[in-house]
Structure 1
Amino acid sequence: MAETREHTLTGTRGALCVHEWPRDEPRYLALLVHGYGEHAGRYAQVAGVLGAHGAAVFAPDHVGHGRSAGERVVVEDFEDVVSDVHAAADLARAAHPGLPLVMIGHSMGGLIAARYAQRYGSELTALVLSGPVIGEWELPGRLLSLPEIPDTPISPAALSRDPEVGAAYAADPLVWHGPMKRPTVEAFARTLRTVDEGGDVGALPVLWLHGDDDRLVPLPGSRTGVERLTGGADGDLTVRIYPGARHEVFAETDRDEVFADLTAFLDRVVPH
């Protein structure tokens, strides 16, 4: 397993843990943005692929997640989370000045990464969205219409066809296995609207990865958001949809194909 380091930054709402997978003489920086209820440590395999491809990899645990401060899975304002991710990007750039920066956001991390690109897109060389929560996502509205949010945690089987992925998720003490919390659901609803209204990312190259059997973030709803974010026909959008794949395409049974698509995209857009 690749060497890892941890940094502690002062985040918008307390201590922010940033994971680093270092590399000697990297040719670009990769910033991983994890999803709801999980943590950046689950992305060690992705970091290994990117490191072998030439990246120094950094990844924050968001507020209320992983080893960062905050009540578990409570995100009151995603704008603060975007600011925390920007602090992690500053850490990466200070360690390796002048290198291109690629952002890779999964699920809730896709929402955060999309908003980051709207706020700081000029600092990015490319954006990768994996099963992103953007566009038409019905869950927040459905949950907020109820008097009490039900205690129905994410099913490990919804993540991947690989049963070992679900088993590891279920056994991970840093993963949240309880119900969603109302402030976070309200923040999701607000930020979905903000990203929808926030404009496109212009000529920034975007890679969208999605499983066509994603039951947590259904493909059609994300398509609406991705097309709006990338400006339709005017944007630089590469799409890869994986038949039969569930929510976590980087942990799916066809992950080798996913990683090959990722590195091929980066070969095209990252300067040599």
Structure 2
Amino acid sequence: MSTVVEMEQLTSGASNRIIPVLKILRIPLIFIRSMILCLLVTLFPRRRHSQRVVAAVENSFAASPSAAKTARRRSVWKSEEEDTLRRRALAEALDMGFETGDGEIQCRWSTSLFFGVRRNALFCRSWFPVTDELKGILIIIHGLNEHSGRYVQFAKQLTSCKFGVYAMDWTGHGGSDGLHGYVPSLDHVVADTGAFLEKIKSENPGVPLFLFGHSTGGAVVLKAASYPYIEEMLEGIVMTAPALHVKPAHPVIAVLAPLFSLVVPKFQFKGANKRGIPVSRDPAAMLAKYSDPLVYTGPIRVRTGHEILCISSYLMRNFKFVTVPFFVLHGTADKVTDPLASQDLYNEAASKVKDIKLYEGFLHDLLFEPEREEIGQDIINWMEKRLDSIAESGDRSRRIDTGVLSFSRS
């Protein structure tokens, strides 16, 4: 029996092929044609009929154009705010604690709001071991369309190994401000990540920090770590299935995406990803993801798609300048992001400490695959090895070249 669950009307992460082209362009092309016709009517009103039509349109808005526009904006803003509050309540209601069979609490957890670089409220979580002993802290940046609460089992595994965990919902995701599933700028997400990291560093002086990102979150983490002041705060970064070689389904998409992202940034491609790409070989994990009300399952928005193309293109051009210690993990059967791009990052990066692990036959959501415990342990082992290397060297600036290429087969 096949373990692949077919889902209807779903999206998942940053697909390495952003949407079929001809069907999705139909509505935008109609929109452009309509705009051109309106301009022609306005600029060349040669017929009395055309003049009467233009006059009628002008008169219909003459009474209170600004009032109508303001009312529409208020309505949209109110709707988005209500949706944000609903999502935040759902995020707060999630139980993120763990208990043993004897009812013993295994970790301390909490939620909070962090205000990003644009003063937008971002929903955050933290998990810490009950004991005060702490090896380090891992900051989790989730993937596109999901949220930090999905990583509770990974957090449990980390705290059991004496690692603290922080996680942040991006703008438009989970319990954070913004239109659900809409990302106006991934550079803002990168900046928010840096600011969040600075806050954690100041609250936990002397504790080693690691940054983790999945899928588009992996791209965010890699770009954030390209800034020297952020890299200086980190002992290393970990990426699972990073979105590094995202490409449009057709070259015309790359040409038109910048225009549409400016003109109709929130427009949704109704034909996008009608059938969700399988992201896990565990049917229960697939069902849990797509029945989660905090996971965005609507069509991708124009600006969001364009932002993914932009950050992916930027990172591909700059692999050779990557110097941060990193560990990249990817499933070879991933149909959402490209495992070959992770291999290219490993091959081209200038980092002295770099490791890659490719999991034969695994899909996109590695931490939700049946072998999630093994994958989580691989990440923990890498961080512990990194800390041991730093302790042995006695100097953060001395980084040992480990450059290991390994494969795991199921």
Fold match (TM-score > 0.5): yes
Q: How does 1:1-272 map to 2 (within 5 A)?
A: 1=98, 2-13=107-118, 14-23=120-129, 24-119=132-227, 120-134=230-244, 136-139=245-248, 144=253, 149-153=269-273, 158-198=278-318, 200-202=321-323, 204-228=324-348, 230-231=349-350, 235-271=352-388
- Tell me, in whole angstroms, the C-alpha distance in 1 between the residues paired with 2:381 and 2:275: 32
- Letter of the structure 1 residue corresponding to residue 114 of structure 2: L
The alignment-based identity, stated in percent, is 26
- The superposition leaves residues 108-148 of structure 1 with CA deviations (integer Å, 9 ceiling, x where unpaired) of 010000001101212110111100001x2224766936897
- Letter of the structure 1 residue corresponding to residue 157 of structure 2: V
Q: CA deviation at 1:266?
A: 1.2
Further displaced range: 163-172 or 151-160: 151-160
Q: CA deviation at 1:263?
A: 1.6
- The superposition leaves residues 233-253 of structure 1 with CA deviations (integer Å, 9 ceiling, x where unpaired) of x63221111111100111111
- Tell me, in whole angstroms, the C-alpha distance in 1 between the residues paired with 2:111 and 2:195: 14
- Letter of the structure 2 residue corresponding to residue 72 of structure 1: H
- Tell me, in whole angstroms, the C-alpha distance in 2 between the residues paired with 1:185 and 1:140: 12
Further displaced range: 142-151 or 219-228: 142-151
3-state SS of 2:321 partner? coil
Q: CA deviation at 1:192?
A: 1.6
- The superposition leaves residues 135-189 of structure 1 with CA deviations (integer Å, 9 ceiling, x where unpaired) of x222476693689734434866611111110000111000001011111111112
- Check whether the contact 1:103–1:127 (CA below 8 A) recurs between aligned residues: yes
- The superposition leaves residues 51-99 of structure 1 with CA deviations (integer Å, 9 ceiling, x where unpaired) of 1122110010000100000111221221210111122212322331111
Kindly tell me: are residues 153 and 226 of structure 1, through their superposed partners in 2, closer, same or farther at Cα, counting changes over 3 Å?
A: farther
Kindly tell me: are residues 143 and 223 of structure 1, through their superposed partners in 2, closer, same or farther at Cα, counting changes over 3 Å?
A: farther
Q: How many pairs were matched up?
A: 267
- Structure-1-length-normalised TM-score: 0.90
3-state SS of 1:270 partner? helix
Kindly tell me: are residues 139 and 20 of structure 1, through their superposed partners in 2, closer, same or farther at Cα, counting changes over 3 Å?
A: farther
- Structure-2-length-normalised TM-score: 0.61
CA-based RMSD of the aligned residues comes to 2.3
- Tell me, in whole angstroms, the C-alpha distance in 1 between the residues paired with 2:297 and 2:252: 17
Gap regions ≥5 residues in structure 2: 1-97, 99-106, 261-267, 392-410
- Tell me, in whole angstroms, the C-alpha distance in 2 between the residues paired with 1:265 and 1:4: 24
Further displaced range: 71-80 or 108-117: 71-80
- Check whether the contact 2:331–2:360 (CA below 8 A) recurs between aligned residues: yes
- Check whether the contact 1:105–1:128 (CA below 8 A) recurs between aligned residues: yes
3-state SS of 1:118 partner? coil
3-state SS of 2:180 partner? coil
Further displaced range: 152-161 or 189-198: 152-161
